[in-house]
Structure 1
Amino acid sequence: MPALAPSYLSSPTGDHCLSGSLHTGKPRGKIETIEEAPTYIGSPHPGKGNGNILFYLPDVHGFYNNAMLLMDAFADAGFTVFGIDYFRDDPVWKHRKDKDDTTTDPGFDHAAWRSKHASFALAKVPKWTQSIALSYGSESTKYCCVGYCFGAPYVMNSIGPGSFISAGAFAHPSALTDDQFNKLEKPLLLSCAENDHAFPAEKRRKAQDLLQAGGKRYQFQLFQGVSHGFAVRCNLDEPYEKFVKEQSYRGIVEWFDFWLSQ
């Protein structure tokens, strides 16, 4: 008998993940291949490192300017940052009708694309984090992970049973399951939008119920008036959207700073 499809607490990725603005700036990191996956490495400024490693699990757009600049921002906070391109140069934006459109080409099979890359991520992310810890970590290094949209489930898996990662965070998640909340073992920050088709109010409340019932350590950020993608793809020319993006980032940094100091 075939396995039943999982019942999602937050919806899988879809066209609602395509909207947003591109940000300008010059990323300063480098890209190497680790465990068959292109990996962005962002380093803190000399003398500013905290000795810890942050794993970055990107949204459906993969390695684009917004993500790389955000990884650099986490490096500015003292972390050595490793970001994985589990899409391997096949991000969803390459399947748009044209570069200025936020809808996919009519012939694009989003479900097949998602399944292909989710299978790779599920298999590779644990090996990738372990490989980085062995190659770049030391006895005193502590680890954290943050994921956006597509990356959220792999954060949950990474702070589940037997994890060496001390804390996790995600923003505007997709494809989460009840089981991942029930198996959570490390502290989790949830950075959420009021208007999110993938993680609406009733799903957020159920997630909180599961976290409370399981005695998990967690914190919710809930931002009014913003939608899915706010923490990476907001319009920086809109003061409130910029403020919310920065608040999400600062909250995640402070969350990691606290738990990695314990």
Structure 2
Amino acid sequence: MSKPASSYLAIPPGDHCLSGNIHTGETRGKIETIEEAPTYITSPHPGKGNGNILFYYPDVHGFYNNAMLLMDAFADAGYTVFGIDYFRDDPVWKHRKDKDDTTTDPDFDHAAWRTKHSTFAKATVPKWTKAIAETYGTSTTKYCCVGYCFGAPYSMDSLTASSFISAGAFAHPGSLTDEQFQNLGKPLLLSCAENDHAFPVEKRIRAQKILQEGGKKYQFQLFQGVSHGFAVRCDLEDPYERFVKEQSYRGIVEWFNFWLAQ
């Protein structure tokens, strides 16, 4: 049985995750299967790599243009990026009423869909990251991870359970618990929207209190006037929304650059 929304610090994904804009552009990565999960792999331009690996945990839309362009952007910052499709070609957008609608089909069981894919993700992400480190890493490689919406808990869990991932981040999170903040083992950047009913102000304050009392290493980004999904699905024609999305990305890159240099 699913937990009630009130038991979460950041509530599970819902119809609010269907809103937003689709971005255009050419992606350059390739998709391979690693530990039964389709994996988007994108690399820095020749001579621009820093030798480190970034694990990307996507939102409920899985592998769509926005996510792949964002992964390419992290590769532009020097990281070899591995993104996991824990939905295995069953992203939530395939269950919309129609392609232009931002609500799900009335016959779609969102809770069952979420349980199915979160169960697979929870079991697969640890062995997926380990397999990538063993196959693609070297003795000098360092690792970081970032999760968006549905991907946030896997970023948190990776920072707690993995001995080799040095730092993490998430943006507009879903499905986070008190325990995940209490058990946090590595530096975390939280990129947050002012208007996010999935992670509202009282829950952000509670999360910060847990981090403070636990002596955790963390940084908050809080952006005024934007809502859930701002870091991936913003309106790029709106100058402020574009600025905020880019600031979220830059902040995450700088966070990783610092901690992986320690």
Bucket of the pairwise TM-score, normalised by the shorter protein:
over 0.9
2:73 match: 73
CA RMSD of aligned residues (A): 1.3
SS in 1 for 2:165: coil
Instruction: After the TM superposition, list the runs of 4 or more consecutive aligned residues in structure 1 that deviate by more than 3 angstroms.
Output: 2-6
| Number of residue-to-residue matches in the alignment | 261
Encode CA deviations 1:151-189: one digit per residue, 9 max, x unaligned: 000000000145310000000000000000011010000
Would you say the 8 A contact 2:38–2:86 is kept in 1?
Answer: yes
- Identity rate of aligned residues, in percent? 80
CA offset at residue 201 of structure 1? 0.1
Show the 5 A alignment for 1:36-75: 36-75=36-75
Q: Is the aligned partner of 1:199 residue 2:204?
A: no
User: For residue 214 of structure 2, what is the amino acid of its counterpart?
Assistant: G
Question: Can you give the 5+ residue segments of structure 2 that lack an aligned partner in the other structure?
Answer: none
Structure 1 residues 139 and 28: alpha-carbon distance in aligned structure 2, compared to 1, 3 A threshold: same
SS in 1 for 2:12: coil
1:108 match: 108
Show the 5 A alignment for 1:146-161: 146-161=146-161
User: For residue 84 of structure 1, what is the amino acid of its counterpart?
Assistant: I
1:236 match: 236
2:167 match: 167
Show the 5 A alignment for 1:121-136: 121-136=121-136
CA offset at residue 230 of structure 1? 0.0
Structure 1 residues 209 and 37: alpha-carbon distance in aligned structure 2, compared to 1, 3 A threshold: same
Question: Can you give the 5+ residue segments of structure 1 that lack an aligned partner in the other structure?
Answer: none
Encode CA deviations 1:123-171: one digit per residue, 9 max, x unaligned: 0000000000000000100000000000000000000145310000000
| Distance (whole Å) between structure 1 residues aligned to residue 3 and residue 106 of structure 2 | 28
User: For residue 56 of structure 2, what is the amino acid of its counterpart?
Assistant: Y
| Distance (whole Å) between structure 1 residues aligned to residue 80 and residue 182 of structure 2 | 30
1:93 match: 93
Encode CA deviations 1:32-69: one digit per residue, 9 max, x unaligned: 00000000001000000000000000000000000000
SS in 2 for 1:259: helix
Would you say the 8 A contact 1:161–1:184 is kept in 2?
Answer: no
Would you say the 8 A contact 2:2–2:111 is kept in 1?
Answer: no
CA offset at residue 5 of structure 1? 6.7
Encode CA deviations 1:73-97: one digit per residue, 9 max, x unaligned: 0000000000000000000000001
